[in-house]
Amino acid sequence: MNQFDLTTILPITILTVWACVLLLVDLFIPKTRKGITALLSALGLAATLGFTLSQIGMEDSGFNGMVALDGFSTFVNALLLVSGLLGVALAYGYVKRMGIERGEYYTLLLFSVVGMMLMAQATDLIVVFLALELLSIPLYVLAAFSRPKTDSEEAGLKYFLLGAFSSGFLVYGIALIFGATQSTNIFAIVESASTSTSNLLLTIGAALLLIGFGFKVAAVPFHMWTPDVYQGAPTAVTAFMSSGAKIAGFAALLRVFATAFPAIATDMTDVLWVLSAATMIVGNVVAIAQTDIKRLLAYSSIAHAGYILMVFVPYGNENVVATSVAAGLFYLVSYAFTNFGAWGVVIALEKKEGKGLALNDYAGLSKRHPALAAAMAVFMLSLIGLPPTIGLIGKIYLFRAVIDAGFVWLAIIGVLTSLVSAFYYLRVIVVMYMKDGEPTAEREPWLDMTTAVTALVTVIVSFVPQFLFAWASDAVLKLF
Amino acid sequence: MIPVDYYIILSAILFVIGVLGVLIRRNALIIFMSIELMLNAANLAIVAFGSVIKSFDGQIFVFFVIAVAAAEVAVGLALIVEIFKSKRSIDVDQMSSLKG
Amino acid sequence: MNLSLTLLTFSPLIGILVLLFMSGNNRNTMRWTALITSLVTFGVSILVFTMFNASNPDLQLVEKYNWITVAGWNIQYHLGVDGLSILLILLTTFLTPISILSTWTAVEERVKEYMIFFLLLEIGMNGVFLAQDLFLFYIFWEFTLVPMYFIIGIWGGPRRIYAAIKFFLYTMAGSILMLLAILWLGVNGGTFSLPELIAQGGIPSNIQWWLFLAFAAAFAIKVPMWPLHSWLPDAHVEAPTAGSVILAGVLLKLGTYGFVRFNLPLFPEAAVRAAPWIALLATIGIIYGAAVSYAQADIKKLVAYSSVSHLGFVMLGLFALNPEGIAGAILQMINHGISTGALFLLVGMIYEQTHTREFKVYGGLWKITPVFGTIFLIVALSSMGLPGLNGFVGEFTILLGAWGAGQNGVFYWGNVWFAAISALGVIMAAVYILYMFQKMFLGPQGEIVDEVKKHGHAIRDLNWREIVTVVPLLIFIFWIGLYPAPFFDIMAPAVDKLVAMMPLP
Amino acid sequence: MHLSETANTGFLFLAPWLVFFPVIGLLINGIFGGRLSERMVGAVASLASGAAFVVSLLLFVTVSGSHGEAMRWHLAEWIHIGELSLDWTFRVDSLSTTMMLVVSGVGTLIHIYAIGYMHEDVRFKSDPGRFRRFFVFLNLFIAAMMILVSGDSYLMLFVGWEGVGLCSFLLIGFWYEMDTLARPSWANSDAAKKAFIANRVGDFGFLIAGFLMFFAFGSFQFDAVFAKAHEVPHEMIIAITLFMLIGVAGKSAQIPLYVWLPDAMAGPTPVSALIHAATMVTAGVYLITRSAPLYSVVHEAQNIVALVGAITALFAATIAVGQYDIKKVLAYSTISQLGFMVAAVGMGAYVAGMFHLVTHAFFKALLFLSAGSVILGVERGHHHAAHAHASPLSQRERARARESKGKKKEERHDAHDDHASAEHHEAFDPGDMRNMGGLRKTMPVTFWLYMIGTIALAGLPPFAGFWSKDEILLDASHHSQTIYWLLTVAAFFTAFYMGRQIWMVFFGEARHEAAAHAEESPKVMTVPLMILAALSILGGALNLPFEGFHNLGHWLEYTIGEVEALGLDMQVAGVSTVLALIAILISWLLYGRNPMKQGQVDPLKKGLGPIFTGMENKWYVDELYHAIIVTPFNKISYFLADVIDWRFWHDWFHEKVIAGTYNWISFIGLNEYADQKGIDAIANGLGVWTQNFSATLRKVQNGFVRSYALSVLLGVVLILGYLVLK
């Protein structure tokens, strides 16, 4: 271990230390003023974000190739930190309102972010596993944070049991890969894989690995937990979980598969193709029947996982993999902002005792809270993929990559399912704008600000996406 | 010396038993134990593979897994305790209020 | 640096910004703001028109700036106008103030949002007509959906939500396939710039065919071509008056314009191959639309179905692939915009008083509302294609072009039958238009007159605002009917250039 | 323009004013008419039409001065695109000036007549405000008709062609809220619609002819087309001319499209006279004459045209015999006479056709206007009679009420105040000949005018009708015996039904109070009639069948080429005259000797039985068309609209199939099925399959978490299975 090793994980280190300190500091913060903890954690996230951004352009590898610092990780880390910030901002008022304001909330959130960031940097399967658990365990707790509310506890337990179950597969997959390639380092794996002749063990291992990640990103058929957990967990947690865990899961999936398993790409492509298509179809189709906004967004989240999965399909094709991955990264950004915004609106309307979450509770929102309704409309349009939102740009980027790689039918499934998705997203708009009702919404400054910022980003970036495009494509440049 | 395949087969059997345990048992604790079984099956495989290539990597990894599993146990048990407090039951089939 | 087209496209934005910061109570100020904004936009379009050189067949006033040129993208902010689009631009900017004027008293609720959506819609429509980059075009194209969706959904009739969603999903269903085709072109051509892609050409003919279909799917739904018209009656019937006007006047033209602008020059071989099929659908649409119109009990529905028939003519003309047909079709787009727009306006004016669109309660209105009746008659006749009014010029040139195309083998097996059968549409147009006019204005006094009286006010003739709203349309009805030469002159060079690209059999 | 460049253009520059004057007139009346008095409105309209007549005269002078050479005045471009180039060009030659003179001349007279007629008509129907509208439409008609006759291309002709169709629609439906008996009804507007649609059917033929022509000749311009008449394939010209015949049949009311004309009598009488007798309906004849160079090269087409005309002539004449309505008789007579003209031009006897067109315009206008005078007279009598029955008390009351109602009411004719009373209009039809009789005494001027018209129509020498009809018959006798005899028989019927009419209307005793109290019409109406009567008598002088008197023939020669001038054939003339006299004699025997009594059945009915019923019911052609065209069209429309488009396509396909499948899938996709039960079902299936675990797995009913885990496992199995087995 040398100073370079530390540089590679500098932001992670800072955030970890900060989280530990915060855990202690929190003890001295009175119960009624846990907002301070929130502010402190936000401060930590912001500072880390600063360090992360300062690392743009740096390329390094540390701890004997266990972690890497590159454009990709920086990009993902920055996105994760922003997600963390947004998560804190959303939670600030929410936890107070729901009577679950406890300091651990923020600490757990920070630890989870740490896990996610580590995931983006991991180049060794051991670290991947560690990071996965590090991000998951706090989320299990957060999901059950509304205890003694049964829904929340149930969500926590379900998430936990199924999460552990899927990490069982992950670990076993790693074991098989280790057996097949005699290494857990992804660079060593790729070398070993290219020389060996029989890949069955490796293939099975990789498939099991895929299942582990698939669970995290909620790909069909590993998605079953998603709606229940999203519904049961406190909404602020759901918001963070649906973006952060997805980003991290995809980041690891991208790095591991693109780096370690190009040799078995032909086999995996079919699997990924089907996974992606199934995820898009199931997610969107099932979402139609939802009347609970949280479940609706949960299925929407599944569906979007399907879209992102499309970029993995051509991962073995050297010519297009860079574009694909860049497209995936951009889509993650667009999804993160849109998603946080949408959850923000949900939080604004949520009442205690789980009220205010039915779709019909949004009736007449445009009259009572035009700005909130407008923001939600923007998010819905973005999720559909319509101008003038970042969602459209993201989708176009994705589809371009898919078409570029020659998977036209997958693209067709993609666009058709987004047509299906238009139906339920539009229903939200219909209810807000075209039905009468007397909804009440909480207007907390931080919440409003979050919603406003995400809405603005969603719209404005759609006009000037080139900077993000450039960053995303630079980020993946050195990955291969 | 026992060929590595035997270990792998054993670990696979253990793993399947674990999986089936998760699927079949309704007691949260036992499900949890089955998951541990799955992890340990993986550990067995790793150690076996590690011994084949005469590397400590595998054993180190196993330590990590054990540690993580311990952490999971802590969280998991806490969750189960909480559930038990409110439901007076740890039958996972009774935890089905979230659906649809 | 010439920014006139940008100015044209985005000038409604000023009004939107002003409206955004207005308080919710002074509705008249909002209406005036929107009206003035749209008039300013119209002024800008006139300015653009004066800068436009009609004898030049190429794109003019081109603005081309790099927009997204990173990460393998090559997207430009590329606007331009030529003879194919200038008239449609003018139509858009011309109809928008009229539509705004027509909602002066019809929309009393949420005026601010209404006006904002309307101006947004204008931006979208202008953008579609001006964009020369496929990507930019697609963005504007999809964008027009959003405000229209709200306009129908919020201010529409009783089944507005159903209609709005149907409109949205239908249109989107087509356009997403187009998106894939656009991406394919962009990926394989290395650029999204339409002129460059056209210049490159060389798309293998089987791929051309699929791309053509993908584009056609988007446009055909928008047009709407038979049998994809099912959304139209719903949207028209439920939309508020101004929505119907813009929908019929401009939004449907987006589809036909798309065919001219993209399908023909980008995929000439496929276009030639598709010509008989499209002509077949168009012909069916003409006859079917006319027949179905006649059997409607709802005035707006009748007009809506008549659009199916009229746009059948446009499609027939476009795929005649000769100057007469295409120029006639473009002129017919304008005509349909004016005539059908005016019909919807007029229907809206009477609806505002009677709150019903059922034919059976009307009758004998001409006696009570002579001015309204006369104007309605003129508009109806124009829609029917009476020579001397605008509709005839378009329909006649289209039919002539289609006949010529049939004789020259463009329609293959269809020969002149398409034109001949479509000409039957002329008779059928008379049937439904006269039916409409008769049921509303002729015959004994309908029960609605007394019905309205019961509510304390008699049916009145048009007031000055309403007359001011329609008279500009009437002027164009006569102008195009009697002296269409300037209109043809504007489009002729561009049309000739387009026709020259077609590998005709 | 090339023609006019060489010639002295004279007053040619006035050509567009043929159209502009009436348009100015209609604009003045349309926009400011509300503030003008009735007299002013009438004066403006008549002046506008008169100005057009003056222009026609000047153009006539110009054309005469240039020896009949065709001159063209280019006004503006119209449609120039691709190969198509159309202009607004006026063509002034001997044929078009003839038509202009007829149209504007007769038109102006009818305008003047209408001032008087409409003054009363609008009061009988209690809507004085509509006076102005009438003249606006009338001026519009003159304008459209001028475009028709002065157009230099088929397309410009078509503009006028459709324009007059529109005017016809507007004027037939002038009293759109009532039927011919002024009861609230859709009848008049239906008649108007029918006329327009029938015309449109014809226009369809015209359009097709136009397309064929354009691609055969490359132009719509007359000269350009005619120049190539010998180059273009014969079959093509046959097709063009026959499609054109459909147009002619529509406009000139020939079989099979004549059905609209009788209904068109719903319009005010001046309209019937001007549009549906004198001018518009002759447009078809004009069209064929104008297209003479085309028809001349295809004898097959000519024969068909002639045959259509001749059959129409006879067919309509038979129907006219069975009509009771004074205007309906004239309407069928018009169809019949148009048949004569069409037959004539079909045979290539263009001069004869045009000659008959002109004389027919005179005497048929005269007859219609006189009929209008009769109807108004009877109506006046009816009101008079109704008044006489009213009690003196109510009269006084009414007078008081009138005073209080102010000036506007004051203007009304005394007799019409009680118009609204229901019994007043319940059953009385002032146009029904069965209600007339003996009008000779009460309306002497009208009687004599009517007599002149009748004699001219019946074709007795030396009235105008004789000469023109005789010329047609003579041509027919040279051309084809079939056509000759068809026309001769038609001429016989013509004389018969006109005789019947005269006896029924003017002789005998009044069969109704109204007829007994009928009053003569004012001067403003009778004076134009006198002028027309004079023309009906002397019109034959235009083209007498004597050497040196073929004025019209020579005049038209400039345009349509050399036409053989025929002398007077005593045999043909004799036969037709004798037949006409016999017909009148028979009609006297039937109707004159024993005048019909009130409520008496038509004496002819006894003799002819079902044949007369057929005539009376117009041979059931309307019913036939209704059954084979209108009803099926309505049914198909409703079927398409309701069943196919709405219920099948809109509701069933879109709602049930697309949306339904969508919902069904989402329902299946709903956790209830796929996510829970679906997985369970698979789990149960697995349970059966794997006996070892079946017992346990069957107990897995609602183990949700475990279902989810199973789903994960399912994914694992599928993926691994695929990868291993691949």
Beta carbon pairs, A and B, within 8 Å: 130
Contacts of residue D186 in chain C, CB cutoff 8 Å? 363, 438, 442-444
Based on the structure, what is the number of domains in chain A?
1
C183/A396 Cβ within 8 A: yes
Domain of D715 in residue numbering reads as 682-726
Q: Using the predicted structure, report yes or no on whether residue D2 has a pLDDT greater than 70.
A: no
Distance to chain A for D699, nearest Cα, Å:
20
Kindly tell me if the per-residue pLDDT of B98 is higher than 90: no
Nearest Cα residue to D1 out of D76, D97, D83, D81? D76
Asked if the Cβ–Cβ distance from A150 to B86 is below 8 Å, we say yes
Choose among D662, D709, D718: nearest Cβ to A162: D709
Name every chain D residue with its beta carbon within 8 A of the beta carbon of B99: 671, 676, 704
Residue D668 scores a pLDDT above 80: no
CATH class of B26-90: mainly alpha
Quickly count: other Cβ atoms within 10 Å of residue D606's Cβ. Answer: 10
Residues A226-253 have a mean pLDDT of 91
Rounded to an integer, the average pLDDT of A408-426 is: 88
Q: What angle do CA D110, D112, D115 make, to 5 degrees?
A: 110
- Residue A333's pLDDT band (cuts 50, 70, 90): very high
Query: Mean pLDDT over residues A389-395, rounded?
Result: 91
Q: Could you give the CA distance from residue D112 to residue D46 in angstroms, rounded to a whole number? A: 6
What CA–CA distance (Å, rounded) separates C124 from D287? 50
Number of neighbouring beta carbons within 10 Å of residue D153: 23
From the CA of C322, how many Å to the nearest CA of chain A? Answer: 34
Residue D625 has pLDDT above 90, yes or no: no
- Output the pLDDT for position D634: 84
Q: CB of A203 within 8 Å of any CB in chain D?
A: yes
pLDDT at D619 over 50: yes
Q: Which residues of C touch A466 (CB under 8 A)?
A: 67-70, 73
Helix count (H) and strand count (E) of chain D?
A: 35, 2
Q: ∠ at Cα A363 (A357, A364), nearest 5°?
A: 135
Contacts of D33 (CB under 8 A, 6+ apart): D41, D44, D132, D135, D136
Of C330-334, D325-329, D394-398, the range with the lowest mean pLDDT is: D394-398
Q: Residue C30 and residue C318: Cα distance in Å, rounded?
A: 40
Say whether the peptide bond before residue D256 is cis (omega within 30 degrees of 0). Answer: yes
When comparing pLDDT for D703 and C452, which is higher? C452
Contact B100 D670 (CB under 8 A): yes
Helix (H, G, I), strand (E, B) or coil at A9: coil
Task: Please give the distance of CA A232 from its chain centroid, rounded to a whole number.
Answer: 18
State ipTM.
0.85
One digit per residue, the tens of pLDDT, for chain C of length 505 reads: 578 889 899 999 999 999 888 876 788 888 999 999 999 999 999 999 998 888 888 888 888 888 888 877 888 899 999 888 999 999 999 999 999 988 888 888 888 889 999 999 999 999 999 999 999 999 999 999 999 999 998 888 888 888 888 888 888 888 888 999 999 998 888 889 999 999 988 888 889 999 999 999 999 999 888 888 888 888 888 898 889 999 999 999 999 999 999 999 999 999 998 999 999 999 999 999 998 888 888 899 999 999 999 999 999 999 999 888 999 999 999 999 999 999 999 999 888 888 888 888 888 888 888 899 999 999 999 999 898 899 999 999 999 999 988 888 888 887 889 999 999 888 889 999 999 999 888 888 888 888 888 887 888 888 888 898 899 999 999 999 989 988 998 888 999 999 998 888 7
Give the span between the Cα atoms of C29 and C115, in whole angstroms. 11
**One-letter amino acid of D116:** G
Residue D698 lies in a domain: yes
| B with C: touching (≥3 Cβ pairs within 8 Å) | no
Q: How many domains does chain D have?
A: 1
State which residue of chain A sits closest to D667, comparing Cα positions.
Answer: A289
Highest mean pLDDT among A27-41, A264-278, C273-287: C273-287
CA distance D707 to D438: 104
DSSP character for C457?
-
Domain ranges of chain B: 26-90
D382 in Cβ contact with D510 (< 8 Å): no
Predicted local distance difference test score (pLDDT) of residue D426: 53
Q: What percent of chain D has pLDDT over 90?
A: 12
HSE-CB for B50 with a 13 A CA cutoff: 18
d(CA A346, CA A293): 8
Mutate which: C87, C396, C449, vs D, most D CBs within 10 A: C396
User: What one-character DSSP code corresponds to residue D7?
Assistant: S
Is residue D228 classed as helix, strand or coil in its secondary structure?
coil
Q: Which of B15, B17, B22, B24 to mutate to test the interface with D (most CBs of D within 10 A)?
A: B24
Judge whether B26 is closer than 8 Å to chain D, CB to CB.
yes
User: Which of residues D562 and D31 earns the better pLDDT score?
Assistant: D31
The H or E element that residue D644 is part of is none
Residue C379 to residues A419, C335, C392, C426, D19, Cα–Cα distance (Å): 38, 11, 12, 16, 22
Pairing state between β C75-81 and A60-62? unpaired
Q: Does position A140 have pLDDT exceeding 50, yes or no?
A: yes
pLDDT at D665: 61
With cut-offs at 50, 70 and 90, classify the pLDDT of residue D413. Answer: very low
Contacts of B54 (CB under 8 A, 6+ apart): none
> Residue C223, CB half-sphere, CA atoms under 13 Å: how many?
35
The percentage of residues in chain D with a pLDDT greater than 70, rounded to a whole number, is: 86
Residues of D in contact with C399 (CB under 8 A): 207, 211
Beta-bridge partners for D90: D73, D151
Give the Cα separation of D371 and D121 in Å (integer).
14
CA C160 to chain centroid? 21
Distance in angstroms (rounded) separating the CA atoms of residues D472 and D359: 13
Mean pLDDT of D73-77: 86
- List the beta bridge partners of residue C298: C358
Q: How much is the CA Rg of chain C, to the nearest whole Å? A: 22
Nearest Cα neighbor of D202 from D144, D270, D262, D287 is D287
Which of D672, D693, D706 faces B22 most closely, judged by CB atoms? D706
Which tens digits make up the pLDDT trace of D202-237? Answer: 989 999 999 999 988 888 888 888 888 888 888 899
Cα–Cα distance for residue pair C315/D19, rounded to 1 Å: 35
Name all contacts of A189-192 with Cβ < 8 Å and 24+ positions apart. A189/A125, A189/A260, A189/A261, A190/A259, A190/A260, A190/A261, A190/A262, A190/A263
Q: Is the pLDDT reported for residue D415 higher than 60?
A: no
The encoded tokens of residue D620 equal 């059931």
Alpha carbon distance A73, A256 (integer Å) = 13
Q: Which residues in chain D are closer than 8 Å to B37, comparing Cβ atoms?
A: none
Average pLDDT over residues A181-202: 79
pLDDT on residue D405: 43
Task: Tell me the pLDDT tens digit for each residue of D146-204.
Answer: 999 988 889 889 999 999 999 999 999 888 888 877 788 888 888 999 899 988 889 89
Q: Tell how strand A60-62 and strand A67-69 pair up.
A: antiparallel
Cα separation of C384 and C430, whole Å?
A: 6
> Which residues span the domain enclosing A334?
3-477
pLDDT at D688 over 50: no
Of A135, A3, A113, residue with least CA distance to A69? A3
Burial of B70 (0-12, 13-18, 19+ CB in 10 A): exposed
- Give φ, ψ of B54 to 5 degrees: 55, 50
Q: Which position has the token pair 């584009």? A: C215
Predicted confidence at residue C35, as pLDDT, reads: 92
Q: Which residues contact D524 (CB under 8 A, 6 or more apart)?
A: D112, D113, D115, D116
Strand partners, B27: B91
Annotated domain spans of chain C = 267-505
- What is the phi-psi region of residue D696: left when phi exceeds 0, alpha when psi lies from -120 to 50, beta otherwise? alpha
Residue type, A337: F
Q: What average pLDDT does the segment D467-478 reach?
A: 87
- The pLDDT of residue D667 is above 70: no
Task: Assess whether pLDDT exceeds 70 at residue D296.
Answer: yes
pLDDT for residue D397: 47
Residues of A in contact with D712 (CB under 8 A): 162, 165-166, 169, 211, 215, 221-222, 224
- Nearest chain A residue (CA) to B5: A179
pLDDT at residue D339 greater than cutoff 50: yes
How many residue pairs from chains B and D have C-beta atoms closer than 8 A?
38
Radius of gyration, alpha carbons of chain A = 21
Would you state the pLDDT for residue D675?
Answer: 39
Question: Looking at the complex, does the CB of residue A148 fall below 8 Å from at least one CB of chain B?
Answer: yes
Take residue D540 and report the two structure tokens written for it. 């034959």
The chains in contact with chain D, meaning 3 or more Cβ pairs closer than 8 Å, are: A, B, C
pLDDT value for D393: 44
Distance of alpha carbon D343 from alpha carbon D335, whole angstroms: 12
